[in-house]
Amino acid sequence: MRLRFWPRTLVVQLILVTAAAVAISNIGVAIYFYKNSEAQTRNFNTERMIDRTAAVAATVARVPPASRLVVMQQMGRFEWRFREITGYRPQPMTAEETALAKRLADALPQNHPRKNAIAVHLHQPLANIPEELRPVRARGTDTEVIQTIVPIDARTTLSSVLVRPTPVWPVEIMVAALVAGILASAGAAFMARRVVRPLSELTKAAAKVAVGTGAPHVAEQGPDDVRNAAAAFNAMAEKVTKTLESQRHLLSAVGHDLRTPITAMRINLEFVEDSELRDGLLRNLDELQALTEQVLAAAKGAGGEQRRNVDLSALVESLCTDLDEIGEPVSWANHSPAPISCRPNEIKRAVRNLVENAVAYGHKADVRIANAGDGYDVVVEDEGPGIPETDRQRVFEPFVRLESSRNEATGGTGLGLTLVKAIVEGHGGVVMLENRPGGGLRARMHLPRVAGAA
């Protein structure tokens, strides 16, 4: 299933995948360092809290009460405040806090008073701390602080409040990730272009081979995989071209060789006295002659003639006029000038085949041109029985004749539509057959204004 907004070009896909991989890996590293830094900071602050609190409590306990405030101010910092309090009410502690309180008691001198009253609170809401006990950097009532309570004599205790530091994202890693993403994307773009450029040339060459305009040589460059693909394509295209060329020469040779005995037989038939036999043999020779000419036309295919800028409307109109003058039931709907780049004799031959088929099997031919986006549609309609849907592709194969619509009276070689298909596709177009709702067959021959590769 294709993602809706997923880019279709290989270059953009490779850049996005590479950049995403670099970004995800670096974000993962940043999260790891962030979590690891947070744990290290927490452990460091715990050790710092025990050491500083023990030192301040031991010092304050040994100085006169009048000097205690000075000592506590000197030992404090913007994020840490020591103050003497009275009337502290013990609060329950967690197992971790109880273990830290024991460690703090062990860090105090042996003769320190009331060690059993030491308390540690690691996640104390700032709202529970009186204003005079808060450090300078304490902001917001939802901030959590670390508070320790250590007795310093029989009546007073020391309150130590430390603002819990907020872990900071490793900005250096994020900047490095951005730089790495840019460099990796540039490298991916460079490698993608090395792959895409030969593939684009390979695609264009394949399109030219598909429409029968020769097999251009593709440069064998880029990575080994792409170079091997180009080499394989060149070998295949050369072999296909030689095969088609040999088939074309074979058909042409057979067609030319058939003309001589046909002409000789036609001359010899003049000496046949039985008129009925002579007429029958002449009809057979005429059919053989028509088949030979169709084979020669198919052998020539789309080669030889140079492309020219012509008015498709005038070209089709002249053909319809010529057929109308010899009594064929052909009608033409006038159309404004339709400039197109094509091989006019081939297009005229293709349209003539469609019109003659319509007259032969559908009693009449109504011809018109319709604008169709990047080109024009030559539409030929008849009033015949149409063609079953299962046979509409098969009729383009060589020598295929549908018995339901063809008989001895209409004749036909089975190469007309094959030649039409070859000519139209050689111009980068397409030919389609469809049954009309009111009866009859509609042949639509689409031709681009300028064929891309033909």
- pLDDT tens for the chain, 454 residues: list them: 455 666 666 667 777 777 777 777 777 776 766 666 656 666 677 777 888 888 888 888 888 888 888 888 888 888 888 888 887 788 888 888 888 888 888 888 888 888 888 888 888 888 788 888 888 777 665 677 888 888 988 788 888 888 876 655 566 666 777 777 777 777 777 777 776 777 777 777 777 666 555 667 777 776 677 778 778 878 887 787 777 677 667 766 766 677 778 788 878 888 777 888 878 788 778 777 766 766 666 556 545 567 889 999 999 999 999 888 888 999 999 999 999 998 888 898 899 989 988 998 888 999 999 998 889 999 999 988 888 888 888 888 776 766 544 444 445 556 678 888 888 888 888 999 999 888 889 999 999 987 544 4
Sequence letter at residue 439: G
Question: How far is CA 420 from its chain centroid?
Answer: 35
Can you tell me whether residue 178 is helix, strand or coil? helix
Can you tell me whether residue 342 is helix, strand or coil? strand
Contacts of 67 (CB under 8 A, 6+ apart): none
Q: What pLDDT, on a 0 to 100 scale, did the predictor assign at position 171?
A: 66
Cα 200 from Cα 210, distance rounded (Å): 15
Cα 130 from Cα 133, distance rounded (Å): 6
Closest CA to 177 of 12, 27, 13: 27
Beta strand extents in 30-92 (DSSP E only) = 80-86
pTM: 0.46
Cα 335 from Cα 312, distance rounded (Å): 10
Sequence letter at residue 306: Q
What are the structure tokens assigned to 307, written together?
A: 């492309």
For the chain, the residue count is: 454
Cα 133 from Cα 87, distance rounded (Å): 14
For residues 101 and 118, the answer to whether their CB atoms sit within 8 Å is yes
Q: What pLDDT, on a 0 to 100 scale, did the predictor assign at position 261?
A: 81
For residues 19 and 184, the answer to whether their CB atoms sit within 8 Å is yes
Closest CA to 210 of 445, 392, 430: 430
Can you tell me whether residue 343 is helix, strand or coil? coil
Cα 159 from Cα 152, distance rounded (Å): 10
Cα 113 from Cα 154, distance rounded (Å): 7
CA distances from 311 to 318, 369, 424, 452 (A): 11, 12, 16, 18
Q: What pLDDT, on a 0 to 100 scale, did the predictor assign at position 316?
A: 93
Q: How many CA atoms lie within 13 A of 273 on its CB side?
A: 0
For residues 315 and 335, the answer to whether their CB atoms sit within 8 Å is no
Q: What pLDDT, on a 0 to 100 scale, did the predictor assign at position 452?
A: 44
Tell me how many degrees the CA angle 316-321-322 measures, rounded to the nearest 5: 100
